[in-house]
Amino acid sequence: MKRLFIILSLISLLATSFFTGCGGQKIRVGSYLDPEGMLMAQLILQMLAENGFGVIDAGAAENPHRELEDGKFDIYPEYTSSQYEAGDTANPNSGVVWLKPGPADSKWAIVVDENLSRAANINNMSDFAAYVNSKKGPVKLLSSPDFIADKTALPAFEQAYGFVLEPDQLVVIPNFNFVYMWTQVASPDNDINAAMAYTTGGNPEEYKVVLLDDDKGSQAEFHPSPIVRKEIYGKYAEQFNRILTPLFAALDDNTLRMLESQSGLSGKQTTAEVARNYLAENGYFKYNELQMVQKAMDEMMAKNGLTSVTAYPGATSDMSAFPDKEHALYSQNMLWPYMTWRMTTGTYTCDSRGIVTQVSTGW
């Protein structure tokens, strides 16, 4: 562990030195209150930190755009087609810059209890509207305030499909937590049988709810994009585009669903852990793989009570035979999530004490 501490200290020192050359300003990263917004904020924060920026986790807010304009946030993930995009991009005096959006399309949606879906044959929004209007059974929908107030959300569904949910059919909670909401929809202990959703928000089938198809296409496309205060963007435009454009370009619908299904109550991992694992496993961390291999080695040796291992003098990227077949990192070490795949990016050797040397980075 002492070796790991020294390595981490050196990496931290290098990062600090790098950013001091950029002027020393720390970037405040914010987000919406919902799980997807906080996940993407963590991706932004960790990527900026990995590339030498000082960063501050500025937390989540109900209206992060206002926080950005007021200077409390420097950057946060927003969506195209939101109420802010047109005003920001059309106004030459706007203090906000939108970076290139990713391909994920995080539309508003509604889920219903799978038992209701099966019994009433509700599979899309037209079916849902017909069921609401038929008054054949109760409908009670759980949502956050913005799903009701935002004209692109519930009001857009009601207008397109010709139904209205009365106030007594709506249960409103302060923010959107899809795990809590979908669990309540499937629970037999209440009369809630529908909830708001995002089309990229985890895996509904795991919670015994059905995501309804927007068969009339009432929803605009909502693609995630980092947006930045113009003052900050003016200083670091090249760095932000180089670091964040490839990151968001890789965020498609399936990736966001997968990441959200792993975080919080559903996946038993913190949002920061999910973001870090994703970035590490997909090669975004250029300088930290040696730390990962060394920590995996330390944990493997501690787990097996080893004071030494067979020296591995030939560089390899195959963790299923490193440091040796009896004590391979891939097969033995399951505590360190970054090293539970077989092939790494770089190549490594180790001595009998378990001290790892990186021969090539793979970059």
pLDDT tens figures, 98-116:
999 999 999 999 999 999 9
Q: What is the pLDDT of residues 286-344, one digit of tens each?
A: 656 777 788 888 888 888 899 999 999 999 988 888 898 888 888 655 455 555 568 87
pLDDT for 335: 55
Please state, for a pLDDT cut of 70, what percent of the chain lies above it.
Answer: 88
**Could you check whether 2-104+222-281 and 108-211 share the same CATH topology?**
yes
Tens of pLDDT along 214-249? 999 999 999 999 999 999 999 999 999 999 999 999
- For residue range 74-83, what is the model confidence (pLDDT) as tens digits? 999 999 998 8
- pLDDT value of position 133: 97
Higher pLDDT, 84 or 265: 84
Q: For residue 259, which of 213, 173, 208, 200 has the smallest C-alpha distance? A: 200
pLDDT category at 280 given cuts 50, 70, 90 is confident
Instruction: Give the angle subtended at the CA of 256 by the CAs of 254 and 257, to the nearest 5°.
Output: 65
Q: What pLDDT is stored for residue 3 in this prediction?
A: 38
pLDDT band at residue 73 using 50, 70 and 90 as cut-offs: very high
Answer whether residue 92 shows pLDDT above 80: yes
Task: Report the C-alpha dihedral over residues 160, 164, 170, 176, rounded to 10 degrees.
Answer: 10
> Which of the four pLDDT bands, split at 50, 70 and 90, describes residue 197?
very high
- Architecture per CATH, domain 2-104+222-281, reads as 3-Layer(aba) Sandwich (3.40)
**Per-residue pLDDT reduced to its tens digit, 116-150:** 999 999 999 999 999 999 999 999 999 999 899 98
What is the predicted pLDDT for the residue at 337?
A: 52
Q: What is the pLDDT of residues 3-62, one digit of tens each?
A: 333 333 333 433 333 333 344 679 999 999 888 999 999 999 999 998 889 999 999 998
Q: Which helix (H) or strand (E) holds 4?
A: helix 2-20
Cβ atoms of 224 and 77 closer than 8 Å: yes
Q: Is the pLDDT of residue 345 over 80?
A: no
Is the per-residue pLDDT at 180 higher than 90? no
- Which residues face 77 on adjacent strands? 226
| Residue 316 vs residues 250, 282, 321, 330: alpha-carbon distances, Å | 28, 19, 9, 13
| 229-252 exposure pattern, b = at least 16 Cβ within 10 A, e = fewer | beebbeebeeebeebbeebbeebe
pLDDT higher than threshold 80 for residue 185: yes
Mean pLDDT of the chain: 87
Question: Rounded CA gap, 330 and 333, in Å?
Answer: 6
187 has a pLDDT exceeding 90: yes
Q: What is the pLDDT of residue 203?
A: 87
What is the CATH code of the structural domain delimited by 108-211? 3.40.190.120
Nearest Cα neighbor of 30 from 73, 80, 79 is 73
Radius of gyration of the chain (CA): 24
pTM for the whole structure: 0.72
Domain ranges of the chain: 2-104+222-281, 108-211, 289-360
The mean per-residue pLDDT over the stretch 171-188 comes to 89
Contacts of 117 (CB under 8 A, 6+ apart): 123, 210
Contacts of 109 (CB under 8 A, 6+ apart): 196, 197, 198, 199, 211, 212, 214, 219
Return the pLDDT at 268.
55
- CA gap 196, 106 in Å, rounded: 13
Identify the pLDDT of residue 340. 59
Return the bridge partners of 107, or none: none
**Cβ 224 vs Cβ 102: under 8 Å:** yes
